Amino acid sequence: MANLGYIGLGAMGGQMTSRLLDKGHRVTGFNRTKSKADWLVERGMTWGTSPRDVCRAADVVFIMVTNSAALQGVAEGPDGFLAGLAPGKVIVDMSTVSPAVSRAVAAQVREKGADMVDAPVSGSIITLQQGKLSVMVGGRQDTFDRIKPILDDVGPRVTRVGDNGLALVMKIATNLSLAVQMLAFSEGVLLAEKSGIPRETAVDVLTHSVIASPMVQYRGPFVLKMPDEAWFNVNMMQKDMLLALEMGRQLDVPLPTTAVTNEMLTAARGMGLVEQDFATVFNVLAKMAGL
């Protein structure tokens, strides 16, 4: 049993904390909106009054926040986790943020005698609950070796891809493909539907065909009925697409399908669909197709 902390108990962070509790770990958690974490307190999580307090209470602290600004927000100031650090502690940031920002925060962590890795995940709430989540890690080898047994309790595939920031690069490279795949899937469904094939039939055929990646299998049915609560909304996906496009410019890697898909996400924002799951690019395309 490890003495863990978790900062950011939204949909994904909350489910990860629940899984860590199931594995027998002791967890102290903090979330900006406390009511969203009440169910975890009922399951045995200890409530921390601030990121600093969580960091003081735990040996290894996980973080799952929405963007670079949010990471800096929970790190800095008198109540930030940097204020609660002591030598030997480890920060495991599972957020998808700018690699440059992550490296800068990691440098501040090391000034305290602690260490930090970036450890974004690939998968969804469903894959997490099924125990099929994969974790990518960027950071020092000795720190990775120390925390890997804990990460194994999050998902069965844990891979160190290199130094700090490189796991975030890998995550951004993964996420751009999710959105591009969803747009291509939507094109196929709409082409079939406008030809006279029922939408339900087209979705069933495509999600059991050679193009059915795990993402298409679990998110493809969203074109029939969007979830009441987004798994990964338009804002969150567009953040990752913009990070990818910026990296593409810096590295001279053309990302044409990423650019087009990003414009469809912008269209979704213009249509007031920003809080929906990013699979709503289907609805944007359907409207353009006259459906």
Q: How many CB atoms within 10 Å of residue 125?
A: 18
- Separation of alpha carbons 242 and 234, rounded Å: 12
Sequence-separated (6 or more) residues with CB below 8 Å from residue 198: none
| HSE toward the beta carbon, residue 205, CA cutoff 13 A | 10
Q: Is 25 left (phi over 0), alpha (psi -120 to 50) or beta?
A: beta
* 3-state class (DSSP) for residue 209: coil
- Please pick, among 23, 171, 194, 287, the residue that the annotation labels catalytic: 171
Sequence-separated (6 or more) residues with CB below 8 Å from residue 20: 4, 6, 27, 150, 153, 154
- Residue pair 137/117 in contact by the 8 Å Cβ criterion: yes
* 171 given a catalytic annotation: yes
Quote the distance between the C-alpha of residue 100 and its chain's center.
17
Closest CA to 125 of 257, 245, 18: 18
> Could you tell me where the DSSP H helices lie in the chain?
11-22, 38-42, 51-57, 68-75, 99-111, 125-129, 141-152, 166-194, 199-206, 214-219, 234-251, 256-270, 281-288
| HSE toward the beta carbon, residue 254, CA cutoff 13 A | 2
- Separation of alpha carbons 138 and 161, rounded Å: 6
Q: Which structure tokens are listed for 30?
A: 């903090």
Residues acting as catalytic residues: 171
